[in-house]
Amino acid sequence: MKIIITIEIEIPPWLEGFYMGPFYQRRWKLMKKPLEKNEADKLMAKYRQEYKEWRNNKKKEGFFVIYNSFFTNELLKTISGNSLKLYIYLGIHSKNNTGESWHSLERIAEYFEKDMRTIGRWIKELEDINLIKRVQKGLRIPNTFLIGYNKKEKEEDIHLQQEELPF
Protein backbone atom coordinates (compact mmCIF):
# COMPACT_ATOMS: atom_id res chain seq x y z
CA MET A 1 0.00 0.00 0.00
CA LYS A 2 1.38 3.39 -0.97
CA ILE A 3 0.19 6.64 0.58
CA ILE A 4 0.94 9.87 -1.23
CA ILE A 5 0.51 13.15 0.61
CA THR A 6 0.51 16.39 -1.32
CA ILE A 7 1.07 19.69 0.43
CA GLU A 8 0.39 22.91 -1.36
CA ILE A 9 2.18 26.04 -0.24
CA GLU A 10 0.92 29.40 -1.30
CA ILE A 11 3.86 31.60 -2.16
CA PRO A 12 3.31 35.26 -1.32
CA PRO A 13 3.13 37.59 -4.34
CA TRP A 14 6.29 39.43 -3.39
CA LEU A 15 8.29 36.17 -3.79
CA GLU A 16 6.84 35.16 -7.15
CA GLY A 17 9.42 34.86 -9.87
CA PHE A 18 12.27 33.98 -7.46
CA TYR A 19 13.74 30.49 -7.46
CA MET A 20 13.15 28.95 -4.10
CA GLY A 21 14.64 25.55 -3.33
CA PRO A 22 12.82 23.17 -0.98
CA PHE A 23 14.58 24.65 2.07
CA TYR A 24 13.25 28.14 1.37
CA GLN A 25 9.84 26.94 0.26
CA ARG A 26 9.29 25.47 3.71
CA ARG A 27 10.56 28.57 5.47
CA TRP A 28 9.17 31.48 3.49
CA LYS A 29 7.12 32.52 6.50
CA LEU A 30 10.36 33.39 8.33
CA MET A 31 11.35 35.91 5.67
CA LYS A 32 10.31 39.52 5.91
CA LYS A 33 8.95 41.44 3.00
CA PRO A 34 11.60 43.83 1.67
CA LEU A 35 10.90 47.51 2.33
CA GLU A 36 10.45 50.09 -0.35
CA LYS A 37 13.52 52.31 -0.81
CA ASN A 38 12.05 55.41 0.86
CA GLU A 39 10.67 53.35 3.77
CA ALA A 40 14.05 51.69 4.27
CA ASP A 41 15.83 55.08 4.14
CA LYS A 42 13.51 56.51 6.81
CA LEU A 43 13.94 53.49 9.06
CA MET A 44 17.73 53.52 8.69
CA ALA A 45 17.85 57.26 9.46
CA LYS A 46 15.73 56.62 12.58
CA TYR A 47 18.09 53.85 13.79
CA ARG A 48 21.15 56.02 13.15
CA GLN A 49 19.65 58.90 15.12
CA GLU A 50 18.60 56.67 18.02
CA TYR A 51 22.10 55.19 18.23
CA LYS A 52 23.69 58.65 18.07
CA GLU A 53 21.50 59.88 20.95
CA TRP A 54 22.20 56.72 22.98
CA ARG A 55 25.95 57.12 22.41
CA ASN A 56 25.88 60.80 23.41
CA ASN A 57 24.08 59.93 26.65
CA LYS A 58 26.65 57.20 27.40
CA LYS A 59 29.61 59.59 27.19
CA LYS A 60 29.07 60.37 30.89
CA GLU A 61 29.59 56.70 31.82
CA GLY A 62 32.79 54.71 31.91
CA PHE A 63 33.50 52.45 28.96
CA PHE A 64 35.76 49.71 27.66
CA VAL A 65 36.90 49.72 24.05
CA ILE A 66 37.63 46.66 21.96
CA TYR A 67 39.66 47.83 18.98
CA ASN A 68 39.42 46.51 15.40
CA SER A 69 42.72 44.65 15.78
CA PHE A 70 40.85 42.24 18.08
CA PHE A 71 39.12 41.14 14.87
CA THR A 72 42.06 41.46 12.46
CA ASN A 73 44.36 39.46 14.78
CA GLU A 74 41.67 36.73 14.73
CA LEU A 75 41.26 36.80 18.50
CA LEU A 76 37.50 37.05 18.08
CA LYS A 77 37.57 33.84 16.07
CA THR A 78 39.58 31.86 18.62
CA ILE A 79 38.34 33.07 22.02
CA SER A 80 35.46 31.20 23.66
CA GLY A 81 32.26 33.10 24.41
CA ASN A 82 32.62 32.81 28.17
CA SER A 83 36.23 34.00 28.16
CA LEU A 84 35.16 36.94 26.01
CA LYS A 85 32.48 37.80 28.59
CA LEU A 86 35.13 37.66 31.32
CA TYR A 87 37.49 39.85 29.25
CA ILE A 88 34.76 42.47 28.85
CA TYR A 89 33.98 42.23 32.59
CA LEU A 90 37.66 42.79 33.45
CA GLY A 91 37.88 45.64 30.94
CA ILE A 92 34.89 47.42 32.43
CA HIS A 93 36.30 47.05 35.95
CA SER A 94 39.91 47.98 35.14
CA LYS A 95 41.59 51.33 35.54
CA ASN A 96 41.68 53.14 32.19
CA ASN A 97 45.31 54.25 32.44
CA THR A 98 46.84 50.95 33.64
CA GLY A 99 44.37 48.23 32.62
CA GLU A 100 44.57 46.89 36.17
CA SER A 101 41.80 45.37 38.26
CA TRP A 102 41.63 43.63 41.64
CA HIS A 103 38.54 41.44 41.46
CA SER A 104 38.87 38.12 43.24
CA LEU A 105 37.81 34.80 41.73
CA GLU A 106 35.04 34.67 44.32
CA ARG A 107 33.65 38.04 43.29
CA ILE A 108 33.79 37.18 39.57
CA ALA A 109 32.22 33.75 40.19
CA GLU A 110 29.43 35.39 42.17
CA TYR A 111 28.72 37.85 39.34
CA PHE A 112 28.59 35.16 36.64
CA GLU A 113 26.88 32.66 38.97
CA LYS A 114 29.56 30.05 38.22
CA ASP A 115 31.97 28.15 40.43
CA MET A 116 35.53 29.39 40.95
CA ARG A 117 37.05 26.52 38.93
CA THR A 118 35.07 27.63 35.88
CA ILE A 119 36.27 31.21 36.28
CA GLY A 120 39.81 29.84 36.68
CA ARG A 121 39.50 28.08 33.30
CA TRP A 122 38.29 31.29 31.65
CA ILE A 123 41.21 33.19 33.19
CA LYS A 124 43.66 30.54 31.98
CA GLU A 125 42.32 30.86 28.44
CA LEU A 126 42.75 34.66 28.56
CA GLU A 127 46.30 34.21 29.88
CA ASP A 128 47.11 31.60 27.21
CA ILE A 129 46.14 33.97 24.40
CA ASN A 130 47.98 36.86 26.11
CA LEU A 131 44.98 39.09 26.76
CA ILE A 132 45.61 39.27 30.52
CA LYS A 133 48.38 38.67 33.05
CA ARG A 134 47.83 38.07 36.77
CA VAL A 135 50.41 39.03 39.38
CA GLN A 136 50.05 38.16 43.05
CA LYS A 137 52.04 40.10 45.62
CA GLY A 138 52.20 38.23 48.90
CA LEU A 139 48.87 36.91 50.15
CA ARG A 140 46.79 39.67 48.57
CA ILE A 141 44.26 39.22 45.77
CA PRO A 142 46.15 39.00 42.46
CA ASN A 143 46.22 42.07 40.26
CA THR A 144 44.85 41.38 36.78
CA PHE A 145 46.37 43.39 33.94
CA LEU A 146 44.87 43.74 30.49
CA ILE A 147 47.56 43.24 27.84
CA GLY A 148 47.44 45.08 24.52
CA TYR A 149 46.66 42.61 21.76
CA ASN A 150 49.43 43.78 19.43
CA LYS A 151 52.09 43.55 22.10
CA LYS A 152 54.53 40.66 22.00
CA GLU A 153 55.50 39.26 25.37
CA LYS A 154 58.81 40.79 26.45
CA GLU A 155 61.75 38.48 27.17
CA GLU A 156 62.12 39.89 30.71
CA ASP A 157 58.47 39.09 31.50
CA ILE A 158 59.03 35.46 30.50
CA HIS A 159 62.04 35.14 32.83
CA LEU A 160 60.13 36.76 35.72
CA GLN A 161 57.33 34.27 35.33
CA GLN A 162 59.71 31.30 35.27
CA GLU A 163 61.56 32.23 38.47
CA GLU A 164 60.73 30.10 41.46
CA LEU A 165 59.32 31.66 44.58
CA PRO A 166 61.88 32.05 47.40
CA PHE A 167 59.82 30.15 49.99
Domains of the chain by start residue, with CATH: 69-159 (1.10.10.10)
Return the number of other C-beta atoms located less than 10 Å from residue 130's C-beta.
Answer: 14
The DSSP element (H or E) to which 62 belongs, if any, is: none
- Which pLDDT score, from 0 to 100, does residue 167 have? 44
**pLDDT digit string (tens) for 86-118?**
999 999 999 988 999 999 999 999 999 999 999
pTM, entire model: 0.67
5 φ, ψ (degrees, to nearest 5):
-115, 130
pLDDT tens readout for residues 37-61: 898 899 999 999 998 998 888 877 8
Most confident of 1-10, 66-75, 158-167: 66-75
With H, G, I as helix, E, B as strand and everything else as coil, classify residue 165.
Answer: coil
Residue type, 159: H
Phi-psi category of residue 50: left, alpha or beta, with phi > 0 → left and psi -120 to 50 → alpha: alpha
User: Higher confidence at residue 61 or residue 158?
Assistant: 61
